[in-house]
Amino acid sequence: NAGVTQTPKFQVLKTGQSMTLQCAQDMNHNSMYWYRQDPGMGLRLIYYSASEGTTDKGEVPNGYNVSRLNKREFSLRLESAAPSQTSVYFCASSGIQGIYEQYFGPGTRLTVT
């Protein structure tokens, strides 16, 4: 039982490059989330998926797209990376949102130069 896994752990991109962050969970959770965390700040919600087949914008969705590939996998894509997207990205999953706690992946540290 691996919980929530994310790849890659580290990534350096040049401005304008694209990449996809992968996330998978093996807990049969319905809901999945993508957050970013900047130094000295809490987690800000980028996108979430309340259930397979649905996705919704969070607090800071601009510059990102997501895909809920199946119940297990939820990917985050940066189409044209910008230095402002330098951050640590966390994926999380939970049972029914608001009723159960979220479980977080180990994070991806992304630097855009």
Partner 1 sequence: EDKVVQSPLSLVVHEGDTVTLNCSYEVTNFRSLLWYKQEKKAPTFLFMLTSSGIEKKSGRLSSILDKKELFSILNITATQTGDSAIYLCCSHNTNAGKSTFGDGTTLTVKP
Stretch that binds partner 1, among 13-21, 42-50, 66-74, 76-84 (CB under 8 A): 42-50
| Cβ proximity to partner 1, 17 vs 55, nearer residue | 55
Task: Select the residue interacting with partner 1 from 7, 59, 70, 80 (CB under 8 A).
Answer: 59
* 105: contact with partner 1 by CB under 8 A: yes
The Cα–Cα gap between 81 and 15 comes to: 5
Question: Rounded to an integer, what distance in angstroms lies between the CA atom of residue 113 and that of residue 23?
Answer: 24
Torsion 100-43-92-32 (CA) sign: positive
- List 19, 44, 65, 109, residue binding partner 1 (CB under 8 A): 44
Q: Which residues pair with 33 in a beta bridge?
A: 48, 92
Least separation in angstroms between residue 59's CB and partner 1 is 7
